[in-house]
Amino acid sequence: MTPPHSNKLLDLEPQLGSIDNFPHAQGSFSDVYKGLITEESVDVQVALKIFRVCDDERKNAVVFEHYRREVRAYERLHRNPHVAEVLGVATIGVKPALVTKWYENGDIAHYPHLNPHVSIHNLTLDLVQGLKSLHSNYPPIVHGDLKPSNILVDDDGHAILSDFGLAYTLDGTEFTTTDLAGSCRFMAPELLPTIIDDDSPPPVRTTRSDIWSLGCTIMQLITSKKPYCTRRLDSQVVLSIVNGTPPYTEADFLNAHIMSEADQCRNLWEVVGRCWEMDPARRPTIDEFESLIQ
């Protein structure tokens, strides 16, 4: 089975230089390496997201679907200022790879700890703008795996979205998925039944499930705690979610070390809390969320 081809993204394989021996980050289907490409005789640092392939064609089909999904999302979001800049694609041996700009600031899971004076409020607004740029597409794009490790920080200190391996559009013609890769700690309850009951219909990621993840991501930024931080096992997390236990408490919010800044939006806890309604229809849209925190 040969890797999928992109008709819109530049093939950067001829420009590839050295690639680090060890990955900088690892995901469910890929590894991210730091490398170099040559542009006009100048070496440029890039991130190479190299998708894993093996001798099992069925497993490779799943991997290639994730690669294809991410490529198509980036093709639609090309030059979007709220999305990581994709430079092109390449094939490393037999492995397909996405080549993106290297972001020295890393992701927002670690950035505030390394930059204690950063404005969490501004990062939150960046994140909302990024998700709005996806959901306002026609048809809307669902990110599908929103969490701090998938949100990078650019050179100007703005949060931008990355990792679209679970993204898809809501017109039903592409990016369909029935797998549940991604962290269950950030998953909406409607995405979890197939983990518990194999006879359940496959879950469908929607803009409203993105909103659940948005609330979790913002609260991790504020509190520096992962969702359901007192639950050690994924099975405990899943049970808490399906039983209607919110991922954070108001005490978590009130005890956060940035409360002085959080006062800029006194109703933030109430707004974020609406993201965790068990009924997806009761969660705010991204436009409603934005208007409530302004």
The 10s digit of each residue's pLDDT in 258-276 is: 555 545 555 789 999 999 9
Same domain, 260 and 146: yes
Within-domain flag for 7: no
Same domain, 151 and 89: no
Domain count, the chain: 2
Looking at the chain, list the stretches that DSSP marks H as alpha helix, in order from N- to C-terminal side: 57-76, 111-114, 120-135, 193-196, 207-223, 234-242, 250-254, 259-262, 268-274, 286-293
Same domain, 74 and 179: no
Domain assignment of residue 37, given as a range = 13-101
Look at residues 101, 244, 91 and name the one whose alpha carbon lies nearest to residue 162. Answer: 101
Please tell me which residue, 294 or 101, carries the higher pLDDT value: 101
Helix axes 120-135, 207-223, angle to 10 degrees: 170
Tokens of 32: 């991210």
Q: What's the pLDDT score for residue 27?
A: 80
- This prediction has a pTM of 0.87
Same domain, 116 and 97: no
What is residue 91's DSSP assignment? E
> How many C-beta atoms lie closer than 10 Å to residue 49's C-beta?
24
